[in-house]
Amino acid sequence: MNVNEELIRYVEREILPRYDAFDRAHRRDHALTVIAASLRLARYYEVNPDMVYAVAAYHDTGLREGRERHHEASARIVRGDRNLRRWFTEAEVATIAEAAEDHRASSGRPPRTIYGRIVAEADRVRSEERRVGKECRSRRSP
C-beta separation of 74 from 62 below 8 A:
yes
- Nearest CA to 99 out of 82, 80, 124, 74 is that of 74
Q: Is the pLDDT of residue 97 over 60?
A: yes
By C-alpha distance, which of 22, 19, 90, 86 is closest to 56?
A: 19
On the question of pLDDT at 3 being above 90, the answer is yes
- Residues 92/107, Cβ–Cβ less than 8 Å: no
Alpha-carbon span 85 to 45, nearest angstrom: 24
Please give the pLDDT value at position 130: 46
More confident: 129 or 109: 109
pLDDT at 109 over 80: no
Distance, CA of 39 to CA of 49 (rounded, Å): 7
Quickly list DSSP for 53-113: HHHHHHTTGGGGG-STTHHHHHHHHHHH-GGGGGTS-HHHHHHHHHHHHHT-GGGSS--SS
Q: Compute CA 21 distance to the chain's CA centroid, rounded to the nearest angstrom.
A: 16
Phi, psi values for residue 108, rounded to 5°: 90, 0
Work out the mean pLDDT of the chain and round it to a whole number. 86
Mean pLDDT on 80-92: 98
Give residue-wise pLDDT tens across range 5-43. Answer: 999 999 999 999 998 998 788 889 999 999 999 999 999
pLDDT band at 79 (very low <50, low <70, confident <90, very high): very high
pTM of the model: 0.85
Contact (CB, 8 A) for 54 and 6: no
**Which pLDDT score is estimated for 108?**
72
Calculate helix-pair angle for 28-42, 49-58, nearest 10 degrees: 150
Checking if the pLDDT of 111 tops 70, the result is yes
What confidence score (pLDDT) does residue 135 get? 46
Predicted local confidence at residue 118, as pLDDT: 96
User: Is 70 exceeded by the pLDDT of residue 140?
Assistant: no
